[in-house]
Structure 1
Amino acid sequence: MRTRTQKTQPSLGDSLTLPCGEALNNRIGKSALSEALGTAEGCVTENLVRLYKNWSNSGAGLIITGNVMIDRRALGEPGNVVLEDDRDLNMFKRWAKTGTAHGSHLWMQLNHPGKQAIRGLNRETVAPSAIGFRPKLAPYFATPRALKAAEIENIIERFGNTAARAKKTGFTGVQLHGAHGYLISQFLSPHHNRREDHWGGSPENRRHFVLAVYDEVRRRVGNDFPIGIKLNSADFQRGGFTEEESLDTIRALAEAGIDLIEISGGTYEEPVMQLGKPKDSTVAREAYFLDFAEKVRAEIETPLMVTGGFRSLDGMQSALNSNALDIIGLGRIFAIEPDAPTKLLRGEETVHKVKPLSTGIKYVDRFGSLEITWYTRQLHRMGRGKAPVPDEHALKSFLFDLRAKGFGIVKNRLRA
């Protein structure tokens, strides 16, 4: 296991050297946000490049993209970008050049949705096992087909293929999306993974997939290229992925040599960061997963990024002082105040604060998707060269998103 040298009580402006030898300029990381700005064919657009120009100027040490899918047959939502061949490399190069223009690292988040793809978007959905969604979401997500062993091997190769192309086009690292109920997360969960072969059964077997993906990506990009992972502390589902299993998975990834672990939690079925009720102690400390990060830090030296809940400079600095994490992960603030890191690094609070959203319709609000759709709409405004609207009514955003997703599904079905 590669380790890093840790400075006692670092500040937001301190650099961080990763196990692979690359260094981040500071301790602010933009966590992945769903941009949904690709074409129906999964290509990069001018709007996507324009959006990242905003964030490139922000001063963040690390910028992580939203989902880039490894297979055109497996989209998670309309507007996903796909990188599986050479057809769009020039636009990927423009995206990378723009995102890194002012010294930020730009990492591509690699993903396969597994069964977590909106019904009608793809010809079929696949997963470790043929386990459908629970009744609340079953109308919106089809029951998947269980993957064959040869298909699993192909998906592993696809992760490596996309990572190699990300490096080729100028991205400075990659992040595997192993959280929030997507395919890697599905393999890790005993609820979703009921296999009895090499890829399932025991916790050790359920870890084979994520470790095989990491090994293939490392083989394709080399030892000096950063590889991170976004991983659930738990998925908060009955019979699902637990904190104990997450710790075991993190130990295995650290031993394999991963460069950065971003801690998150929940799934579409249990969106804890959107609908969960955090403990009073969590609210006071701001970070949702800091308690779990402390458990992780006691076990490994691999750099950790914690995302979710940070609201103030004091909260961020206190978390860094605890030495439980190395990078402050921020997401939604980037959608309403894209230059937030510039202020934070100067020791100033952000002008706007992330706050709960509500349409006023309980049926809509209880799904937990409103947070995603509202902030995605702000990203689309920036992609068109407009300023975000921090006080836009949530119901307006929801209705516009509903229309856009419907058109997106129709476009993808026509393409197919």
Structure 2
Amino acid sequence: MSHLFPTYQRWEVEPKLAKGTKLLAVNGKEYLDFTSGIGVCNLGHRPQNVYETVKKQLDQFWHVSNLFPVSIQEEAANLLATSSGLDFVFFANSGAEANEGAIKLARKATGRNKIITFQKSFHGRTFATMAATGQDKVKTGFGPMLESFVYVPFNEIESLKKEMGNDVAAIMLEIVQGEGGINVVQEDFLDEIGKLCTQYGALLIIDEIQTGIGRTGKSFAFKHFNIKPDIVTVAKGLGSGFPIGAVIGKHELGEYFTPGSHGSTFGGNPISISAAIATMKTIFQASFLKEIEEKSQLLFKKLNEQVSKLSIVKDIRGLGLMIGIELTQEVGPILKELRDEGLLVLSAGEQVIRLLPPLNVSNDEIDQAVELLIQVLKR
């Protein structure tokens, strides 16, 4: 028997070796990986520059705790602050931890408790982030949720206005709802959110756990829009597979996260920090971000021209290299067929195929993935 709790519905593919976009299973079969470890391996598997940077740190020290100044934490924080346009950074170990920190910070800074999130959102599986998530399926069986979270329909401004008031600490949203179906925020809706936050003195928290670090063709997805958040959370793609998350906040929030107010034993671990620095130095280059946009345009063009016409396909949507293909039926069996053909993809809800290829995927690999999608979806 397995001694692991059965919390995951694991696939039949056990990895043996992975490099770039390719994953080799223990049975000898090779796969084209368009999951990127659920949006984590944004530079593909085992990128050389990250490997070399991590190896150098492994030869120095692994862990000392946050009682010590660690200069590479400052370097990583500077990269995040500069790229986001914000000021202060707190390092955590995951996206859920980053969102927990953001929730605590917003409540403390405003002195208010109510936080508005959105239906079909996903913010994590800890108790606060589970309560923040606008999907009942993640809450089943865990008893009463943490109070003061309110969920409104995504992209519906009138519903949001009805919940706004002087008791709202923050509005928290994803620019693209990942687990909820690859739903992209509408520009006018986001503009109104900004105005409402200003009007009522609420903070704007943007959850960039899946969309950040180049996934949408910008360093952060909110940069596609004319909006300035108060708090941004990031994780997945930040460490190229090493566990790390971060809360990024504006300068005025610094007085609310002081010694003893928040902390983490492993947050800012030197190994993960070194991986994050190498990852950001690559992805945040203007030329690299431009290439992501070009690859996104190519992939969307091929999907719209060749895949959208299939009878089983209902919609194709997304931003950058975060793409959803909505079908007229459940995607579970289709994901299995795609794996049988050598393509690894994800679901985003029951009827949406989620494509999260590495950001440095080649044009030929995009062609190969589209051909496999057509082959399976035509059956």
TM-score under structure 1 length normalisation: 0.26
The structure whose RCO (Cα within 8 Å, separation 6+) is larger is 2
Bigger radius of gyration:
2
More strand by share: 2
